[in-house]
Amino acid sequence: MSTTTTTVPSAGPAAGSHSIFARLRTGDEIARLITFIFAASVVLISLLLIFELWRGSVLPRHKFGLHFFFTDVWDPIFDHFGARPFIYGTLITATVALVLAVPLGIGAAIFLAELAPQRISDTLQFFIDLLAAVPSVIYGLLGVFVVVPIMRQYVQPGLQHTLGFLPLFQGPAYGVGFLTAGFVLAIMVIPYIISVSREVLLSVPRNQREAALALGATRWESTWKVVLPFARTGIMGSVFLALARALGETMAVTMVIGNTPTISASLFSPGYTIAAVIANEFSEATSDLHVQSLVELGLVLFLLTFILNGLARLLIVVTAQRGSGTAQA
């Protein structure tokens, strides 16, 4: 479903007037100026944000340099800080989240785009949109009281019995840890994958599907072998979007991850993410180096999500253009 965007020719200044005061007398110029100020302020705020992050992390950048990213130690007593366990935790939980959410999300999107009649598809999408609106702390609440006990009592021991030969599922079952955090994150990002993938799939031109069916493919085959590959880039965009969301998630993660900077092959191990450590330690870091190391972590997170969001948008736009380029409704 593509939107027809009508581009409005932007009105230039009233013809004939030259001096700025003369021009200002016309309401148009004032309106333009006022709205420009607001728009420019948005740019200013974002520049200020980057500037504050950069300025606020000057100490660790100078003291540790690139070593910051390869050190495991996080020691406020001896003033030694390294980002690796947090980067690891952030990436691992996001990976687990995607492994769980992507198949489920794309499956649901296929159902909504290909199979469900319009009304049902719209209704279900409505519910999915509501799911996306649930705040992080509520997921955290359910995580602590529902997911963690289930993980500790059933899921983790179960995985250990069946797949315990893999280093992924070894170690004591705390309930909290990478696996639980990844699971909760998966639930949080599914709506994004579904919404965007559904839109992308709907924008695939009908003739593609019809051609496949005409050639004798079953509906599944037409979806799997023709429609999905066509929409592949857009779906990847949705995955990147979901990934960006997962990386920045704070509250739900800090309530279920165990808050221990560890790098471990086991998913049962407690860990830490960048967002979680900032939330826990920022208001109490006393030494300047400690605070600024946390700010540097914030900067790293910012850059990661920034790049991912950019890529996501690019991919989604590319797919939309491909779709409308060959569209014949």
Binding to other proteins (CB under 8 A) within 30-69 occurs at: 30-32, 34-36, 38-43, 45-49, 52-53, 56
For residues 108 and 116, the answer to whether their CB atoms sit within 8 Å is no
Contacting range for other proteins; rule: CB under 8 A; set: 61-69, 91-99, 159-167, 172-180: 172-180
Tokens of 181: 């955090």
Taking CB under 8 A as the criterion, which residues in 300-329 touch other proteins? 301-302, 305-306, 308-310, 313
Q: Residues in contact with other proteins, total (CB under 8 A)?
A: 118
Checking 125-128 for CB contacts under 8 A at 24+ apart, the result is 125/194, 125/195, 125/198, 128/190, 128/191, 128/194, 128/195
Taking CB under 8 A as the criterion, which residues in 283-302 touch other proteins? 283-286, 294-295, 298, 301-302
Binding of residue 181 to other proteins (CB under 8 A): no
DSSP string covering 192-211: HHHHHHHHHHHTS-HHHHHH
Shortest distance (Å) from residue 145 CB to other proteins = 7
For residues 323 and 205, the answer to whether their CB atoms sit within 8 Å is yes
Q: What is the largest CA-CA distance in the chain?
A: 83
Taking CB under 8 A as the criterion, which residues in 235-254 touch other proteins? 244, 247-251, 254
Tell me the CB-side half-sphere exposure of residue 115, using CA atoms within 13 A. 11
Binding of residue 82 to other proteins (CB under 8 A): no
Contacting range for other proteins; rule: CB under 8 A; set: 62-70, 146-154, 200-208, 230-238: 146-154
DSSP string covering 85-117: HHHHHHHHHHHHHHHHHHHHHHHHHHIIIIIS-
For residues 60 and 77, the answer to whether their CB atoms sit within 8 Å is no
| Residues sharing a CB contact under 8 Å with residue 64, sequence separation 6 or more, in sequence order | 71, 81, 82
Taking CB under 8 A as the criterion, which residues in 84-143 touch other proteins? 103-105, 107-108, 110-112, 114-116, 124, 126-131, 133-138, 140-142
Binding of residue 214 to other proteins (CB under 8 A): no
Shortest distance (Å) from residue 33 CB to other proteins = 9
Shortest distance (Å) from residue 175 CB to other proteins = 7
Tokens of 57: 């992390």
Shortest distance (Å) from residue 91 CB to other proteins = 15
Q: Which of 198, 190, 207, 193 is nearest to 231 (CA)?
A: 198
Shortest distance (Å) from residue 169 CB to other proteins = 15
- Residues 218, 321, 324, 326: which binds other proteins (CB under 8 A)? 218
Q: Which of 114, 82, 143, 39 is nearest to 294 (CA)?
A: 82
Taking CB under 8 A as the criterion, which residues in 183-202 touch other proteins? 187, 190-191, 194
Binding of residue 221 to other proteins (CB under 8 A): yes
Shortest distance (Å) from residue 237 CB to other proteins = 13
